[in-house]
Structures are given as structure tokens and as C-alpha cells.
């Protein structure tokens, strides 16, 4: 598990904002229809307050008409407030007028911005159902988000699927060797080790403080790099440099850089990433759509957890494709709700290590977990973080994170421009949830094979990743068709030794 949550690069965005104004951004119009079907008095009030905000350089004037999930380039909360403040202070708006016209969307106001030099730009204001401002397309543009008329497909990228973890092959700058990078949405940028940074020849441009699981760490950062993924080229990329990384299957991490720039679709059934322009795109059939916030460079979802017979514990959980579990609850949330002493029965104990920071963990079955808007999942494995000197003062900014053992049961489309994600059940969703036999985590992969996912048993760890033929004579196919056999195996493992036979005819006794 890893969360590289280093701060949003305000310097870069401020520079972009200043350059945009200097170049006369007003002259490059967004391609939109002529809109305005909402009540005229409502539109007039929105524009009056917006113009007064720029006149007085005071964002507080807008507070009554901003939606709770008001966003600028997907950023919400304090980050959105900061971006808004920068725009209001630097943007020389003189007149803001509505453009008369028609639109099927009654919640859009087409507007014309005019600056002190009579430069003009058209944009639109998107309102929510209550008539409050969700976003302003011109403000998104200042911060690098381009909204298009159509969501064109920009790239289709194959990935290697490591039990739900996504490995992408890419190149950095002129370094010829292809690198295997973990696509990690729990991180807000890229990261490599000092050793690899030296080999690539990365130039350190600044230092920063990174939040990792259980604490924080001082890091170096290299800016203005170019990343190439197949034919896709990403410029002006920052790369964090950590003293060391412990990972046996990747060279580093590629954070949510992709979904900051594109609508990003993860197709686990076919092991493909698809990247689209930000624009109108129908949701996949049978997909559930849920909203998310983006307060600190990573996506947060609301969920409810019940570990035993206590009441529901509501929290905010990070969307984290860099985490190899189903769900972890961070130490402050565990402590606040007394989850370890609420009747929770751990099946195993271990630790989670993130870039050298270790915290004790306890894994067992929860009574239920529900993401807002989705059906509740019962008897799902959850990991609760214990306390130690490393994490006693840690403020993670979220209550936990949702990892790939849950996420990989869906084909996913994440759209930062609309702050929403669609989850479409895939082939894996039809198979039973992961389960534990003593110290072995066992589950099905996206190819439908029963697999030893992980183990803290030294005798079994060499078999990690192997396909399982049978457990105590019960064939994998039999277990997938009749999940009720699994609880019996779990109980049997508490008092007896079991044999796990692998597809290559090797076997271990646990």
C-alpha cells in the first residue's frame, strides 16, 4: 500500500494562470452551444455576484451560490478555494454577461467574459439542481483542464494485471530502457527511487513533504520531465524521488496524472486503459455512478463500514489502485470508532509498509461495507491499522482507502471533470470474495483462476501468485460455483491442516 500525497503544485498552476492571461486567453473561445434556459432572475443574480466578486476581489461574496462540491479542474474543498482565490486576484475581469440562446440543459449558463483590454472569451457556468455553481469552464481552463464538445478516444493502453494491480510500461525523457510503473491512484504524482532517478539523470528542482501510510517523509522532486506511454506523450511531469522503494514487480509509481488529464477507463476484463478527452460521454451499460471529492490530490468516496455488531461508521475512503487489499481503515478512524475492540475478530496480523514507514495491521471479516450508491458487501475482508510511535500523530486526510481487491471487481471509468466514477460489474464480480485460510489470502483473479494472493507464512510465501487447483480436495471450479463450501474450509483450517494443490501439481500443507 502506498499513498504519495504530496501537495498540489500551486506554483505550476499560478504560472499557467498568469501565462494564460498574458497570452490573451479570452481570444480562444470554448466551443459550446448558446445556452440559458434557467430562470432569468436566477441567471442574473449568479452573474451579478460573480461580477461583484471580481470587482471587490473577495471570494466570500460567492459562497452563498457555490455548491458544496464546487470544483476547479476537479479540485474540491480547500484546493478549490485556493484556486478560486488566485483567479479572483489575478484575472482582470471587467464585464460578465449572459449569452441568450437555448439548451437542453437548463442548468447551464452561457457567458461572455470581457477584460479591461476588451479581450473576450466565452464559457459556461454549470449549476447543480439547486441552482448553485458546480464549476465554471473558463476557471477549469486556467488550471489546465480542457473541456471539449466530444470525448474523443486518445489512447488505448494494454496493461499487465497483477491480481488487480495495474502495471504500465513507459519511458522517461531520453532514458531508453522501458520502465514498469504501478498505476497508483492513491498517489497524486509519479515517484521513483533515488537509484533509478540517478540512472535516468533526473534533475532535482525542489523539495517537498510527502504523506505516506503511517506518517510523512521529506522528498526531492524533479520537474519538467517527459513521459511516453506507447504513442501518448505527457510533458511537464513532476517526479518525486524517494530514498528507497520496496517493490518486487515495478520500477516506480505513476499516480493519478492520467485521470487529471483524461477521462480514464480501466477495463479489467480486457486489461486495457482507455483515455478520452474531457467531454460528454455516456456511462457504460449497467454501471453505477457515484460522486467523489478531490480535496488533496486524490479521489475520496463516502462509505459505511460495520465491522461487527456496532452501528455503521461513515467515512471517506481513497480510491487507491496502488493498494493490494480490499479495504484498509487508517489508525485515526480505527481509534475514533474503537473498531479493534468492537467485536472484530482478526484472522491474521501483519504490517503495512509504505516507503519505509511500517504500521501494524489486523485483517478479518467485516459485517458489511457499502460505498454510497452501491449495494452493501457482506463478510468482506477489511484491514484495521493499529497504533505505534510511527503513526501516533499521523493525519492522513481520509479514513481509509479502497484497494484493487475490491476495485478490480468492476470495470471503472473516472471522470475528474464531473467528479464522478462509474463502476460496472465485470467477470470477477460473479466470483466469490477473497478469503483467508490461516495466514494465506486466497481469491480469484480477473482471468477466473483461484490464486494464492499473499501469505505471511514463510513456508508458503514462495507460492505467492500460483494458480490453485484444489483445497483439501475441493476443486477451484467447485468452490466458485458453490461459495457456501468456503466458510466450512475456513472453520476446518482453525483446527486441522489443509492441503493446497497448485495447477503445476505442487502442493503445500498449511
Query: What tens digit of pLDDT does each residue of 121-142 get?
Result: 889 999 998 889 999 999 999 9
Residue 254 has pLDDT above 60, yes or no: yes
Q: Which residue has the higher pLDDT, 164 or 285?
A: 164
Cα–Cα nearest to 71, from 63, 80, 62, 61:
80
Residue with cell 478560486: 84
Cα(447)–Cα(377) distance, integer angstroms: 22
Residue 487 has pLDDT above 70, yes or no: yes
* One fold for 154-276 and 288-428: yes
Q: Which residue has the higher pLDDT, 88 or 373?
A: 88
Q: How far is CA 142 from CA 18, 19, 417, in A?
A: 9, 9, 14
CATH number of the 432-509 domain:
2.30.42
Banded model confidence at residue 268, pLDDT cuts 50, 70, 90: very high
Sheet-wide strand order for 474-475: 474-475, 468-471, 499-502, 507-509
Amino acid 28: pLDDT:
34
Amino acid 442: pLDDT:
96
Q: Domain residues of the chain, as ranges?
A: 43-143, 154-276, 288-428, 432-509
SS3 letters across 7-28: CCCHHHHHHHHHHHHHCCHHHC
Amino acid 325: pLDDT:
93
Amino acid 107: pLDDT:
86
- The mean pLDDT value for 64-70 works out to 94
CATH architecture assignment, domain 288-428:
Beta Barrel (2.40)
Q: Are 304 and 174 in contact (CB under 8 A)?
A: no
Residue 51 has pLDDT above 70, yes or no: yes
Give CATH superfamily name and number for 154-276: Acid Proteases (2.40.70.10)
Q: How far is CA 174 from CA 201, 358, 380, 497, in A?
A: 9, 35, 45, 54
Banded model confidence at residue 213, pLDDT cuts 50, 70, 90: low
Residue 390 has pLDDT above 90, yes or no: no
Q: Is the C-alpha dihedral spanning 277, 283, 287, 288 positive or negative?
A: positive
Q: Are 144 and 8 in contact (CB under 8 A)?
A: no
Cα(334)–Cα(329) distance, integer angstroms: 6
Amino acid 38: pLDDT:
42
- The mean pLDDT value for 46-60 works out to 93
Amino acid 98: pLDDT:
85
Q: Which residue has the higher pLDDT, 36 or 450?
A: 450
Q: Are 307 and 339 in contact (CB under 8 A)?
A: yes
- The mean pLDDT value for 272-280 works out to 97
pTM confidence score: 0.88
CATH number of the 43-143 domain:
3.10.450.50
Q: Which of 172-176, 279-283, 457-461, 494-498 has the lowest mean pLDDT?
A: 457-461
Cα(229)–Cα(152) distance, integer angstroms: 18
User: For all residues of the chain together, what is the average pLDDT?
Assistant: 87
Amino acid at each position: 500500500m502506498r499513498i504519495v500525497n504530496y501537495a498540489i503544485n500551486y506554483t505550476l498552476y499560478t504560472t499557467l494562470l498568469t501565462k494564460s492571461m498574458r497570452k490573451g486567453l479570452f481570444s480562444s473561445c470554448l466551443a459550446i452551444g448558446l445556452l440559458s434556459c434557467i430562470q432569468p432572475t436566477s441567471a442574473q443574480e449568479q452573474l451579478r455576484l460573480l461580477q461583484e466578486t471580481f470587482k471587490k476581489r473577495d471570494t466570500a461574496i460567492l459562497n452563498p451560490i457555490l455548491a458544496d462540491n464546487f470544483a476547479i479542474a476537479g479540485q474540491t474543498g480547500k484546493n478549490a478555494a485556493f484556486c478560486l482565490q488566485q483567479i479572483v486576484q489575478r484575472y482582470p475581469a471587467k464585464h460578465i454577461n449572459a449569452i441568450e440562446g437555448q439548451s437542453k440543459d437548463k442548468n447551464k449558463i452561457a457567458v461572455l467574459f470581457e477584460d479591461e483590454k476588451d479581450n473576450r472569451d466565452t464559457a459556461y457556468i454549470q449549476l447543480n439542481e439547486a441552482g448553485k455553481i458546480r464549476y465554471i469552464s473558463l476557471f477549469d481552463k486556467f488550471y489546465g483542464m480542457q473541456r471539449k464538445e466530444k470525448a474523443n478516444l486518445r489512447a488505448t493502453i494494454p496493461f499487465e494485471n497483477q491480481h488487480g494491480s495495474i502495471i504500465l510500461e513507459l519511458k522517461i525523457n531520453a532514458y531508453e530502457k522501458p520502465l514498469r510503473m504501478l498505476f497508483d491512484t492513491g498517489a497524486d504524482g509519479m515517484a521513483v527511487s533515488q537509484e533509478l532517478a540517478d540512472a535516468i539523470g533526473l534533475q532535482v528542482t525542489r523539495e517537498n513533504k510527502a504523506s505516506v501510510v503511517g506518517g510523512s517523509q521529506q522528498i526531492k522532486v524533479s520537474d519538467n520531465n517527459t513521459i511516453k506511454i506507447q504513442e501518448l506523450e505527457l510533458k511537464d511531469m513532476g517526479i518525486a524521488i524517494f530514498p528507497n522503494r520496496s517493490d518486487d514487480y515495478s520500477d516506480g509509481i505513476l499516480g493519478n496524472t492520467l485521470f487529471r488529464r483524461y477521462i480514464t477507463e480501466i477495463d479489467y476484463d480486457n486489461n486495457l486503459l482507455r483515455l478520452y478527452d474531457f467531454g460528454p460521454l455516456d456511462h457504460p451499460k449497467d454501471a453505477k455512478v457515484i460522486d467523489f471529492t478531490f480535496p488533496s490530490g486524490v479521489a475520496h468516496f463516502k462509505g459505511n463500514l460495520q465491522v461487527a455488531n456496532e452501528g455503521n461508521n461513515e467515512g471517506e475512503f481513497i480510491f487507491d489502485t496502488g493498494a493490494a487489499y480490499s479495504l484498509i481503515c487508517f489508525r485515526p478512524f480505527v481509534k475514533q470508532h474503537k473498531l479493534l475492540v468492537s467485536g472484530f475478530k482478526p484472522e491474521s496480523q501483519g504490517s503495512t509498509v509504505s516507503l519505509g514507514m511500517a504500521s501494524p495491521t489486523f485483517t478479518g471479516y467485516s459485517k458489511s461495507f457499502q460505498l454510497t450508491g452501491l449495494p452493501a458487501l457482506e463478510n468482506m475482508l477489511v484491514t484495521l491499522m493499529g497504533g505505534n510511535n510511527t503513526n501516533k500523530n499521523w493525519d492522513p486526510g481520509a479514513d481509509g482507502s479502497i484497494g484493487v481487491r475490491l476495485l478490480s471487481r468492476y470495470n471503472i471509468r473516472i471522470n475528474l471533470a464531473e467528479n464522478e466514477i462509474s463502476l460496472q460489474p465485470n467477470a470477477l464480480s460473479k466470483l466469490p470474495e477473497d478469503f483467508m485460510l490461516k495466514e494465506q489470502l486466497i481469491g480469484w483473479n480477473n482471468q477466473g483462476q483461484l490464486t494464492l494472493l499473499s501469505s505471511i507464512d514463510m513456508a508458503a510465501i514462495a507460492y505467492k501468485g500460483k494458480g490453485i487447483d484444489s483445497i483439501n480436495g475441493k476443486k477451484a471450479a467447485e468452490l466458485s460455483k458453490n461459495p457456501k463450501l468456503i466458510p466450512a474450509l475456513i472453520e476446518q483450517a482453525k483446527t486441522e491442516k489443509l492441503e493446497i494443490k497448485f495447477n503445476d501439481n505442487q502442493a503445500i500443507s498449511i
